[in-house]
Amino acid sequence: MSKSDVIVIGGGAAGIMAAYRAGQLGARVTILEKTSRLGTKILISGGGKCNVAHDGPLEEVLRAFRKNETQFIRPACYRLTNRQIVSMMTERGLNVYTRPDGRVFPLDQTAKDVLAILVGYLEESGVEVRLDSPVVGIEAVDGRVTGVYTGEPPEAHSGYRMRNAERKQFWPADRVILATGGSSYPNCGTTGDGWDWARDLGHSIVPVRASLAPIYLNLEPSRVEFSGVALRDVVVRARQGGKEIARWRGDLLFTHQGVSGPTALGISRVVAEFLPGGDVSLEADILPDLKHEEVLARLQSVSPRSRVLPVVAEHMAERLAAALVSDIGVEPDRTFAQLDRKSRNRLGEALKGWKLGVVRTVPLEKGECVAGGIALDEVDPQTLESRKVGGLFICGEVLDIAGPVGGYNLQAAFATGYVAGESAAR
Ligand SMILES: Cc1cc2nc3c(=O)[nH]c(=O)nc-3n(C[C@H](O)[C@H](O)[C@H](O)COP(=O)(O)OP(=O)(O)OC[C@H]3O[C@@H](n4cnc5c(N)ncnc54)[C@H](O)[C@@H]3O)c2cc1C
């Protein structure tokens, strides 16, 4: 096998950007991609629209990550900023628009067009792309990488970990970029392969947990009927032992298994972290702009002739309103004149914290990304080179980075990929 200057393992957002940048700087670069196409997660991102970045001052964008993640990705994000990522797209014909919340999307195109532009960059910089080329191991001698092994392509990617597979072919290279992503959506080829090799090479792996995932609840059968119904602009709170552990404002979608939508995704990482420590319950504040006393005052001022159900249904679908009213033990056709003081207080309490249920699990494989991965203090944030193995560069979701919903994760993958490619080429 002719020797490449740089081998990139994984053709996702980080790997593509790394390969492009290394090729642009004159390195002979090969991408080894396990599946039969590049950028599968880019294609499904943002519901097929691809929320390509998050607009706004870079420091604000960085603050959306956890503190250690912010510190780690800051140098890379200044090297390839959110606005430069968008420019890379718009220069090649992508029209974009920015939502009021800062999320940048293609205007009249889709994730396919985003991927086509990225592949165009790859072609331009002379990168060789090898599809159906699953890497099964990284070789290092005396603390420096010497190349990688590929094996047989798996018949089905789902759940297939490329660890103990037969080593078929050696690809020599003294610079290797590890960009195998996380382990959610395993059908995309992302089955966490990189963590096993990194561990074997001396890296620590921060325990991998769900992030940006739906939350499954222990649902009563009557609650399953709510599947597909949403609550708009509520605050969802997670509690453990009565103490609030996470909250998120936005929409909440009921599903067959529990809840999803921006609020559920927003709290899912913290819920997954706390779950091993005991029960976590969820509740929704239906009137987040009002204090508890203000809600009670409002209920007090409702006409005594009004029935309870329609008043609650002003804030949510009638099916949900009926369930909330039944939860506090009030007949739905009662009028406010028939509500005693205790029931009125219970109604106020339910509107400020409607109990949604106890969490059963947060399914890691359904998350838009995973938290955990290769420990950040073992990688140089200026170059993305491993502090354990010379010539090994690490970028994207395989690292212990997980941003919120909003274009942050692609931003982190593109920026760390760019710097890994640049450093490897030098
Ligand atoms: C449904 C969904 C929607 C999302 N929407 C958005 C969004 O709108 N905006 C946003 O910012 N983020 C979004 N994300 C998150 C974002 O897509 C990921 O964080 C990002 O793609 C990570 O990039 P990566 O290059 O590190 O990994 P990936 O893009 O996952 O790429 C890793 C690549 O490595 C390959 N690979 C794995 N193992 C091997 C092996 N052994 N040999 C060779 N190749 C291998 C995989 O096949 C894959 O192609 C979404 C994710 C999902 C699942």
* pLDDT (tens digit per residue) in 131-154: 999 999 999 999 999 999 999 766
- Report residues of the chain scoring pLDDT below 50: 156-159
Give pLDDT, residue 122: 97
What CATH number does domain 6-210+364-425 carry, 3.50.50.60, 3.30.70.260, 2.30.40.10, 3.30.70.100?
3.50.50.60
- Packing angle of the helix pair 111-124, 13-24 (nearest 10 deg): 30
**Pairwise CA distance, residues 33 & 189, whole Å:** 9
CA of 67 to the centre of ligand 1 (A): 23
- Fold of domain 215-361: Helicase, Ruva Protein; domain 3 (1.10.8)
- Sheet with 392-394: list strands edge to edge: 128-130, 29-32, 6-9, 176-178, 392-394
Q: Which atom of ligand 1 is nearest to the CA of 397?
A: 26
Collapse the DSSP code of 317 into the 3-class scheme (helix H, G, I; strand E, B; otherwise coil) and give the result.
coil
Q: Which residues lie closer than 8 Å to 307 by C-beta, 6 or more apart? A: 332, 333, 334, 335, 336
Cα-to-chain-centroid distance, residue 327: 34
| Measured CA distances, 147 to 65, 171, 176, 180 (Å) | 33, 5, 7, 16
**Pairwise CA distance, residues 252 & 264, whole Å:** 7
In what helix (H) or strand (E) does residue 61 lie, and over which residues does it extend?
Answer: helix 58-63
DSSP string, 339-385: --HHHHHHHHHHHHSEEEEEEEE--GGGSSEEEEEE-GGGB-TTT-B
Q: Which atom of ligand 1 is nearest to the CA of 10?
A: 34
The answer, yes or no, to whether any atom of ligand 1 lies below 6 A from the CB of 409, is: yes
The answer, yes or no, to whether any atom of ligand 1 lies below 6 A from the CB of 139, is: no
The answer, yes or no, to whether any atom of ligand 1 lies below 6 A from the CB of 30, is: no
**Pairwise CA distance, residues 268 & 333, whole Å:** 37
Give pLDDT, residue 152: 77
CA of 72 to the centre of ligand 1 (A): 19
Domain positions in the chain are: 6-210+364-425, 215-361
Locate 259 and state its tokens: 């809840």
Give pLDDT, residue 333: 86
**Pairwise CA distance, residues 31 & 137, whole Å:** 15
Number of residues assigned to the chain: 426
- Packing angle of the helix pair 408-425, 82-90 (nearest 10 deg): 90
In what helix (H) or strand (E) does residue 244 lie, and over which residues does it extend?
Answer: strand 243-254
Residue 281, phi-psi category: left (phi > 0), alpha (psi -120 to 50), beta (remainder): beta
Give pLDDT, residue 2: 64
* Number of C-beta neighbours around residue 346 at 10 A: 17
Give pLDDT, residue 154: 61
CA of 356 to the centre of ligand 1 (A): 31
Give pLDDT, residue 3: 82
